[in-house]
Each structure stands twice: as structure tokens, then as C-alpha cells.
Amino acid sequence: EPEVTQTPSHQVTQMGQEVILRCVPISNHLYFYWYRQILGQKVEFLVSFYNNEISEKSEIFDDQFSVERPDGSNFTLKIRSTKLEDSAMYFCASIRTAHLNTEAFFGQGTRLTVV
């Protein structure tokens, strides 16, 4: 069964460093998303991406964040200068079409720890 894959599963980084979280969405999906979950809190929407551009972003997604689809398969989330409060589980998701019955498929997440 096709699945969304994320790498790495865990990442530890020092405050101020840049990190890139990688996702490979399901191959025929067209819409891509990043979510995050700070420990003990809700899963929160960060950004949506379609047709090589950001469609919508939350207030969390400030200038320190960027997304890119550098080739036909990868979808990346970059945090330019990490802060302690960026420590969270980051989930990538994708959907195939903008249709009433569509469902979002999620990856297994990347746990980011900023020290």
C-alpha cells in the first residue's frame, strides 16, 4: 500500500542550526502539508502546498520556515535557525485530489529535538 515516508525519524540539533525535514508523499498526490505536534499539545497545521507554491500557512509558519518541492518526489520543510520551542513531532501529509471524499495520508513523523 502506498505511504507517505519521512526522514529522519529523529533529529537532534543545536539551537540556531538549520534543519531540513524530508518527506516523500504518495506518488500521484498533488497537495502537500506539514503539521507539527509539540509534546502534550494538539497536532497543528503549518502549511499547505500545491502547484509549487504555498497555498496557505498558519501564524506559526514565520520567516524561519520554508517549504520546497525540489524534484518530483521530495517535499521538504526547512527551519532556518532553530529555537528550543521548535522541538516537536513534525508530520507530512498529502492528498490526491481536492474532492469531498478525499482523505489525508500522513507520514510517521520526524521527532525534532532542539538543544
For other proteins, the binding residues (CB under 8 A) are: 3-4, 6, 9, 31-33, 35, 41-45, 48-50, 55-56, 91, 93-95, 97-109
Residue 84 phi, psi dihedral angles, 5° rounding = -55, -40
Least Cβ distance, residue 60 to other proteins (angstroms): 13
Rounded to whole angstroms, the Cα distance separating 88 from 40 reads 10
43-50 vs 31-37, strand pairing mode: antiparallel
Rounded to whole angstroms, the Cα distance separating 7 from 26 reads 14
| Strand (E) or helix (H) holding 1 | none
Q: Compare residues 65 and 91 and give the one whose CB is closer to other proteins.
A: 91
Rounded to whole angstroms, the Cα distance separating 113 from 32 reads 23
Q: Compare residues 13 and 105 and give the one whose CB is closer to other proteins.
A: 105
Q: Compare residues 32 and 65 and give the one whose CB is closer to other proteins.
A: 32
Least Cβ distance, residue 65 to other proteins (angstroms): 16
Check if the beta carbon of residue 63 is closer than 8 Å to that of residue 56. no
Least Cβ distance, residue 1 to other proteins (angstroms): 11
Q: Compare residues 13 and 108 and give the one whose CB is closer to other proteins.
A: 108
Least Cβ distance, residue 46 to other proteins (angstroms): 10
